[in-house]
């Protein structure tokens, strides 16, 4: 599911282990549901100022984000808001990539992911922009109704705006997401995202995290 572009599902294996372990401890249970309560979605977005995308797909994502604005004031319209997971994990892959996930365990499971592709965990703020999942260097995904065996989710949302704040990387990854706006997308086998026509939107006004950073031991 996460860090799938360059790590070939490594994070999916790690996350699946977390989901199964949590499910066993709590007796299982489904995810928290998507915007319309039918199950899941995921979201991702780019956060570096020098990572402008020139692909048609990125332009489509940007257009879709714009279409989610109200005609009266241009404000992003949220179909659903907020997220509360149950089990967090942060992994430093040691190769210039890193991964954070907050999971609602069970079958199916839900997850909020932050994926770093061009840097490890670094203190500072990064602005998320409308970019294709295939090209974003910092991606935020929100997924609902996911199968831990197949890594297929019922619904996926990709962030197109907002801020990722990292306050500390000393032992723990401490930070937050602020004013994040996500649109519903599909992601193909080559990791290109495509906005869902008439799809729903999701907002995370303030989400905080504080979790031990684990090295990847693959």
CA distance 133 to 85: 23
Q: For 169-186, what is each residue's pLDDT tens digit? A: 999 999 999 999 999 999
Domain that holds residue 153: 4-215
Q: Which of 64-68, 127-131, 155-159, 171-175 has the lowest mean pLDDT?
A: 64-68
Other CB atoms within 10 A of residue 169 CB: 17
Number of domains in the chain: 1
Strands 201-215, 80-81: pairing is parallel
- Alpha helices per DSSP H over 46-197: 56-67
DSSP 51: -
**Which of 46-55, 61-70, 186-195 has the largest mean confidence?**
186-195
CA distance 158 to 132: 9
Q: For 84-122, what is each residue's pLDDT tens digit? A: 988 899 998 877 788 899 999 888 899 999 999 888 889
The mean pLDDT value for 33-58 works out to: 39
């Amino acid at each position: 599911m996460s860090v799938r572009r360059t790590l070939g599902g490594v994070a999916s294996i790690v996350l699946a282990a977390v989901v199964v372990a949590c499910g066993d401890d709590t007796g299982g249970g489904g995810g928290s549901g998507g915007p319309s309560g039918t199950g899941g979605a995921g979201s991702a977005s780019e956060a570096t100022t020098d990572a402008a995308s020139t692909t048609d797909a990125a332009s489509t994502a940007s257009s879709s984000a714009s279409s989610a604005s109200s005609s009266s004031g241009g404000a992003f319209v949220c179909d659903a808001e907020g997220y509360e997971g149950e089990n967090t994990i942060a992994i430093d892959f040691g190769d210039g990539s890193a991964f954070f996930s907050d999971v609602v365990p069970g079958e199916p499971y839900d997850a909020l992911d932050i994926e770093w592709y061009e840097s490890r965990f670094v203190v500072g703020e990064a602005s998320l922009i409308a970019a294709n999942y295939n090209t974003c260097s910092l991606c935020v995904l929100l997924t609902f109704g996911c199968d831990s065996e197949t890594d297929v989710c019922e619904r996926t949302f990709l962030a197109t705006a907002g801020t990722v704040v990292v306050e500390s990387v000393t032992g723990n990854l401490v930070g937050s997401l602020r004013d994040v706006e996500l649109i519903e997308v599909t992601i193909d086998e080559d990791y290109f995202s495509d906005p869902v026509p008439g799809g729903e939107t999701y907002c995370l006004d303030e989400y905080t995290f504080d979790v031990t950073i684990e090295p990847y031991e693959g």
